Structure formats: C-alpha cells, structure tokens
C-alpha cells in the first residue's frame, strides 16, 4: 500500500504545479465616459441603489437622523413646518468609484427647507490615496449635472460635512489626484505621474470643457498652464528613486525606480500652492502617490532568518474557485507556493483557514532544497491528512493583470521525515506580487 505521506506530497505538489500554468490576456475595454460629448460637462444617470433605505420622521422641533453612523443629518428647529419623512438611500458611486465606497441619495426631493440641514459623511482614508485635504462633496441635479459644495474635512475623525437647503444625490470625491499610468514597476523602470483635477465653473458646475481630458482618469483632467504657478516641489519622500517634471507647467512628471530595489514601494509627492477657499481648507495641498517597486516579492522568515524571494513570481487565477502565488530566491534553492481553494464562491481577498485542500481553505507548500514544508501532514493514527492551525490573510486580490496581490500568514509547517513521523517549525510569509493573468 502506498504510504500516506507520499500521497499527501503528491497531491500537494500537483496542486502547486498548477501555479505555474499561466494564460495571458489583456482587457482593452474602457469605461464609458460620463461626460457629455458636446460640452465635456459631467452628466450622469441616476445612481443605482447599493443598500436598504432608512427613514425617519422629523418635525418642526428638529432632530438628528443617523444611518449607522455613516451619514448623520442634523435638522435644525424650524427647518420644516410639518412632520416630514427624511430618507437615506445608499447608492453606487458615479464620480470616483472605489472598492467599498458608497454614496448617498437623501430625500425628500423637491423640498426647500427653511434652514440648511447639516450633513456629515464618514469615509475610509484608504479610499483617497492622494490627499484627504482634496476631498470635495458634490450633489446631482435632476438634469444629471453635478455641482460642488463648500466642504469641511475632519481628518482626525475621517468625516466630511456640508450644509444644504434641499436634497439630492451626494458624492464625495478627490478634487485633485496624483495619478500614475503604472502603479507597479520593476527596477530601473519608469512611470509617468499626472496631477488630475475635476474643474468647476463659477457656479460649481463640475468639469466644463477642457482640451486635456483623459479617459484613464475617469472624470479627471490634467492640470494645465492656467494653474502652472501653483505646482512645485516634486520629490520622492519615502524610499529611493528619482522624479522630474516632464512638461513646462510641471503637472506631469516621470518617476524612475532605482536599479537595486531595497523596499517594495516608494512615495512620490508634489505640492499645489495657493488653493485656499477655492479647492481646499489649506493654502498648500500635498498630493502623494505610492508606487510599488517590484517585479514582486515574497518575504519569508524561518529559523530566525528572513529571505526575500524576487524571482519566478506568479499570482494567478486557477480556475473559477481557486488562485495561487509562487516565487523563488535568486538561485532557486528556496521555492514557495501558496494555493487558495474556494469552492462555490469567487476567488477574492479574505481570511482563509488552513486546510487539507477542502473548499474554502488554504494550503501552503515550501520547497527548501530537498525538504518540503507543508501546512498539512499525514497522521497515521487517524489514517488521513490533517492541517496546521491558523489563517492566511489575502489583503488584495485583483482580477486585472499587473495589479498588486498581497497577503501574509504565520503558521507551523511540517516536514514528513517518515511514513508517520514529522518535524515542524513556525514560518512567517508576507507577499506582494503583480497579478500575472
């Protein structure tokens, strides 16, 4: 009879081998522009609902209405003359979509309050990678156009506050962004960065006609010579590399990664001066963009030593219900693989328990010279494979080629030294790898 641990090893190696079968494809589809072709004015259809509607009746005495703390309405006394039904409806984002970001339609419509209602939105700072100081709120008119509102940002509490005498759809977004045409580059490679802005006219109408519109920015234009005197101080503020302005009015710059990568990311910064009262609460706006410096990396710690794996890296979908990552060190003496099997659900970021290839669990395999360290082992007393305790945390998993996949775990892995014998050691792994396909 074939030994149990040989079967375990064969199954695990077979699963690992799949990690290196890659198929290449590119998605060349572009999102439809939300701008009017005639005027380049931002105009959208009514947003689709993204959650349950919540209502509350508030009378002339005023009151407060909270939607799970994500939106708070403060209706002052005298704002309405009779008891009025107020409603909060989560809706999809139309101006600056972000994973997890929800915006809101407030009701009633077609009612003008006697006094402005104070509206406070909570936000996740991860949604705004350039600068929280650049956050702006806009509302949508029935015609589909969007208009900005004076916006107060509290970076300590991560809240945004506006006041309005009537209700509509509201969205918060970054007025300025720092955009990179490639967010992940290898050693010695370059990426261009652009200062993007959503322009507005004197009446707050978003994005009037402008010749530097770029589809890649969704709703953003490249800052042009009209604001050239506001831009200064391109610099690399975290880690290494160089950045140099590319055009005469300094709204475009090129970042070059160092030839030797000592850290998985760098941060590029630019200053936009003199925008107080028009775009921000501050006279100086500092925009930042993180650039992932990698052809990928896996940081593996065992026996008190940390190894950086940067060769033969893959992060790929393995059918509908599984995905995996893999990598080696420079001379291939250390070979790491991680497979996630999710039966009955889409492969995605999340926390997965270790298991012996059961649906919804993770299996880790480490090949170190001739030794195989695995998250599963064969237990002769029960005549079956068992798994280590612990979880794998997949922080980011994208379906777009080139986007970063990242995660980590720390667990006891096993090496089978005989049919029923094993040794174990605690091994920690963190990884950040561009999606292969």
- 422: how many CB neighbours lie within 10 A of its CB? 15
Q: With the CA atoms of 394, 399, 405 and 409 taken in that order, what torsion angle do they form, in degrees rounded to the nearest 10?
A: 20
Gap between the Cα atoms of 64 and 87, Å rounded = 12
Gap between the Cα atoms of 32 and 42, Å rounded = 12
Tens of pLDDT, residue by residue, the chain (437 residues): 344 444 444 444 344 343 332 222 223 333 344 444 444 677 888 999 999 999 999 999 999 999 999 999 999 999 999 999 999 999 998 887 776 788 999 999 999 999 999 999 999 988 887 788 888 899 999 988 889 899 999 999 999 999 999 999 999 988 888 888 877 777 788 889 988 887 776 567 775 433 343 444 456 777 766 665 678 889 998 778 999 998 777 888 999 988 777 777 899 999 887 664 444 445 678 888 988 786 677 888 888 888 878 777 888 877 666 778 888 876 677 787 877 776 555 667 888 888 877 778 888 888 776 678 888 888 888 888 889 999 989 888 877 777 778 889 999 999 888 888 889 999 998 888 877 76
Taking the complete model, does pTM exceed 0.75, yes or no?
no
Are 131 and 240 found together in one domain? no
Gap between the Cα atoms of 80 and 155, Å rounded = 32
Nearest one of 289, 204, 203, 207 to 35, comparing CA atoms: 207
Are 168 and 186 found together in one domain? no
Question: Going by DSSP bridges, is the β-strand pair 265-273/322-328 parallel, antiparallel, or unpaired?
Answer: unpaired
Are 314 and 271 found together in one domain? no
Are 230 and 100 found together in one domain? no
Question: Going by DSSP bridges, is the β-strand pair 146-149/135-140 parallel, antiparallel, or unpaired?
Answer: antiparallel
Specify the DSSP class assigned to residue 360: T
Is 32 part of any domain? no
Is 139 part of any domain? yes
Say if residues 37 and 400 touch (Cβ distance below 8 Å).
Answer: no
In the three-class reduction of DSSP (H, G, I as helix; E, B as strand; rest coil), residue 216 is classed as helix
If one counts the domains in the chain, the total is 3
Are 308 and 272 found together in one domain? no
Are 215 and 114 found together in one domain? no
Which of 120, 146, 174 is the last residue before a domain boundary? 174
Structure tokens at 359: 């649906």
Are 166 and 217 found together in one domain? no
Lateral strand order in the sheet of 169-174? 54-58, 84-91, 103-107, 169-174, 135-140, 146-149
């Amino acid at each position: 009879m074939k030994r149990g641990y040989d079967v375990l090893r064969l199954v695990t190696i077979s699963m690992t081998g799949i990690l290196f079968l890659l198929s290449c494809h590119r998605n060349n589809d572009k999102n439809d522009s939300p701008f009017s072709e005639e005027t380049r004015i931002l105009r959208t259809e009514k947003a689709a609902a993204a959650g349950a509607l919540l209502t509350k009746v508030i009378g002339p005495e005023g009151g407060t209405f909270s939607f799970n703390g994500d939106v708070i309405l403060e209706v002052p006394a005298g704002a309405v003359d009779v008891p009025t039904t107020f409603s909060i409806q989560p809706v999809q984002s139309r101006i600056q979509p972000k994973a997890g970001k929800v915006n809101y339609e407030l009701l009633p419509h077609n009612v003008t309050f006697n006094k402005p209602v104070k509206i406070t939105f909570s936000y996740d700072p991860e949604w705004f990678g350039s600068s929280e100081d650049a956050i702006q709120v806009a509302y949508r008119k029935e015609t589909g156009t969007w208009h900005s509102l004076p916006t107060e940002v509290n970076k300590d509490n991560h809240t945004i506050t506006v006041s309005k005498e009537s209700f509509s759809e509201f969205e918060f977004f970054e007025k300025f962004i720092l955009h990179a045409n490639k967010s992940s580059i290898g050693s010695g490679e370059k990426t261009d960065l652009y200062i993007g802005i959503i322009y507005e006219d004197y009446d707050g109408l978003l994005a009037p006609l402008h010749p530097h519109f770029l589809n890649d920015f969704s709703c953003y234009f490249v800052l042009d010579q009209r604001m050239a005197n506001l831009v200064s101080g391109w610099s690399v503020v975290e880690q290494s590399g160089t950045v140099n302005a590319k055009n005469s009015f300094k709204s475009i710059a090129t970042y070059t990664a160092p030839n030797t990568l000592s850290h998985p990311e760098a941060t590029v910064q630019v200053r936009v001066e003199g925008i107080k009262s028009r775009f921000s609460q501050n006279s100086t706006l500092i925009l930042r963009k993180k650039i992932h410096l990698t052809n990928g990396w896996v940081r593996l710690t065992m026996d008190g030593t940390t190894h950086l794996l940067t060769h033969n890296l893959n992060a790929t979908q393995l059918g509908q219900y599984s995905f995996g990552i893999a990598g080696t060190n420079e001379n291939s003496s250390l070979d790491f693989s991680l497979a996630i099997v999710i039966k009955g659900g889409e492969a995605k970021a999340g926390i997965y328990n270790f298991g012996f290839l059961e649906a919804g669990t993770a299996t880790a395999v480490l090949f170190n010279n001739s030794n195989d360290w695995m998250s599963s082992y064969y237990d002769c007393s029960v005549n079956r494979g068992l798994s280590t305790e612990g979880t794998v945390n997949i922080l980011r998993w994208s379906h777009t080629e080139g986007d970063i996949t990242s995660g980590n775990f720390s667990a006891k892995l096993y090496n089978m030294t005989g049919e029923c014998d094993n040794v174990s050691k605690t091994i920690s792994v963190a990884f950040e790898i561009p999606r292969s396909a």
